[in-house]
Structure 1
Amino acid sequence: MSRNNLIVETLVVGQMAANCYIVRDGSVAVVIDPGDDGQYIIDTLQKYSLTLKAIVATHGHFDHIMAAYELQISLGLPFLMGKGDEFLLKNMRASANHYLHITTDPPPTVTKTLADGDIITVGAQKLSVIAVPGHTPGSIALVSNEWIIVGDVLFSGGAVGRTDFSYSDKEQLMISIQKIRSYPEDYILYPGHGEKTTIGDISQLFV
């Protein structure tokens, strides 16, 4: 496949320092995992004169979606997430209050659920959706020709997503990690928290 021109802007948002990604082709963009600080995200879009087309969540945990409602209402945008994680939206406000002792906006309204093999168009470029369940049932990753946004599946240094939730599945998570590792070693991995890494670096830790 040919290389593409998608640019990834990383914004670290919220008390849990989640990575929010603005992926753009020219002046057209999608925002991925708007975990908090909605105005900061909007200001960044305006800074680059970007037209936002959609909001996408890699999974339904509150620290990745708390600003989605603000963006959806302010900008009139569709909200997309993996099929199987919709139930987590109902718990978003309670979870944020439990872990961070804050009151949040309501959860966003799901416009479309995404499944393995779906395509998200960003300008003239495309992102492929792959299902990567385990951390949550509906976790997804977004694949370009150079990189993958992996959410909380795995992180720089070899840490992996939590599987101690009642709905998590450690075996599925390991299968999802192997799916990600099947891509070329020079692919950059953009995780839900922390620094980016590469498949080559991660693969050395899962021998």
Structure 2
Amino acid sequence: MQIITLKVGPVRTNCYLLISNGEVGIVDPGDDGDYIIRIIEDKKLKPVWVLSTHGHFDHLLGVNDLVLTYNIPFYMHPDDQFLLERAKSSAEYFKMAEVADIMVDFKPVNEGIVLDVGGTKLKVYDTPGHSPGGICLYSKKDRALFCGDLMFYGGVVGRTDRSYSSREDLKESIKRMLKLPKETIVYPGHGRPSLLSAIHPI
């Protein structure tokens, strides 16, 4: 599987294009849907799904453009639906220009569901903490973990200072992910990737 990282939106969210046999799955299209589409078209890829690792606006504002352009499913954990509904107001609160409402429906995913892109299998893990519906996506074949805002390069962990966050849940989620092979590459929602072996329990 080929992985392309695009920096999107005002907070430079990592949007990942997961490419296998001409198909592409899109993870965390935080904004700039037209830019993501241009890259997909330039590379002559066939989009098959789009997924947000959690419901914060900087991980999903591009879903309108992608779903409406390609008629593909949008996956997200249902426990973050309330954040999806707040995406427009949250984005505008953080002094972004006026943004459109999320007009497309999501398909719920949770622990154990497996997504496919060009024959490459990616398993969903429930990893609450930063938000109630945080998820990770893992490719065993590629030893690649897409973890959203669960954990970051240098051992930094996701924020839990919001009313709906839980440090205990975050701690348990990280502990679970650390059971994956140590050579797994962690692809976070922001910043650079790292080896799982460089991340420690909290």
TM over 0.5: yes
The 2-side partners of 1:87 and 1:169 are apart by 16
Q: Work out which of the residue numbers 11, 16, 30 in structure 2 matches 1:21.
A: 16
- 1:159 aligned residue: 156
Partner-residue secondary structure (3-state), 1:116: coil
Scaled by the length of structure 1, the TM-score of the pair is 0.93
Q: Work out which of the residue numbers 41, 53, 57 in structure 2 matches 1:58.
A: 53
1:76 lines up with 2:55 in the alignment: no
- 1:10 aligned residue: 5
Partner-residue secondary structure (3-state), 1:86: helix
Deviation of the 1:110 alpha carbon: 2.8
What residue identity is the alignment partner of 2:115? I
**121-130 or 106-115: which moved more?**
106-115
Deviation of the 1:104 alpha carbon: 1.2
Q: Work out which of the residue numbers 134, 139, 157 in structure 1 matches 2:129.
A: 134
1:38 lines up with 2:33 in the alignment: yes
Deviation of the 1:82 alpha carbon: 1.2
**187-196 or 35-44: which moved more?**
35-44
Scaled by the length of structure 2, the TM-score of the pair is 0.96
Q: Work out which of the residue numbers 166, 169, 194 in structure 2 matches 1:169.
A: 166
What residue identity is the alignment partner of 1:151? G
The 2-side partners of 1:25 and 1:75 are apart by 17
Q: Could you list the per-position Cα deviations for residues 134-193 of structure 1 after superposition, in whole angstroms to 9, with x for gaps in the alignment?
A: 001010000002110000000001111111111111100000001111111110000000
Deviation of the 1:115 alpha carbon: 0.8
- 2:42 aligned residue: 47
Q: Work out which of the residue numbers 178, 181, 200 in structure 2 matches 1:181.
A: 178
Native 8 Å contact 1:81 1:110 kept in 2: no
The 1-side partners of 2:157 and 2:106 are apart by 29
Q: Work out which of the residue numbers 65, 83, 87 in structure 1 matches 2:82.
A: 87
- 1:106 aligned residue: 101
Deviation of the 1:101 alpha carbon: 3.2
**68-77 or 47-56: which moved more?**
68-77
Native 8 Å contact 1:115 1:130 kept in 2: yes
**Stretches of 4+ aligned residues off by more than 4 angstroms:** none
The 2-side partners of 1:200 and 1:158 are apart by 10
Q: Which runs of 5+ in 2 are unaligned?
A: none
Deviation of the 1:108 alpha carbon: 4.4
Q: Could you list the per-position Cα deviations for residues 95-140 of structure 1 after superposition, in whole angstroms to 9, with x for gaps in the alignment?
A: 0000133211211423311110001011111100000000010100
Partner-residue secondary structure (3-state), 2:177: helix
The 1-side partners of 2:106 and 2:167 are apart by 29
Partner-residue secondary structure (3-state), 1:183: coil
- Structure 1 108/155 Cα, relative in aligned 2: closer, same or farther at 3 Å? farther
The 1-side partners of 2:49 and 2:198 are apart by 31
Partner-residue secondary structure (3-state), 1:129: strand
CA RMSD in angstroms comes to 1.1
Partner-residue secondary structure (3-state), 2:123: strand
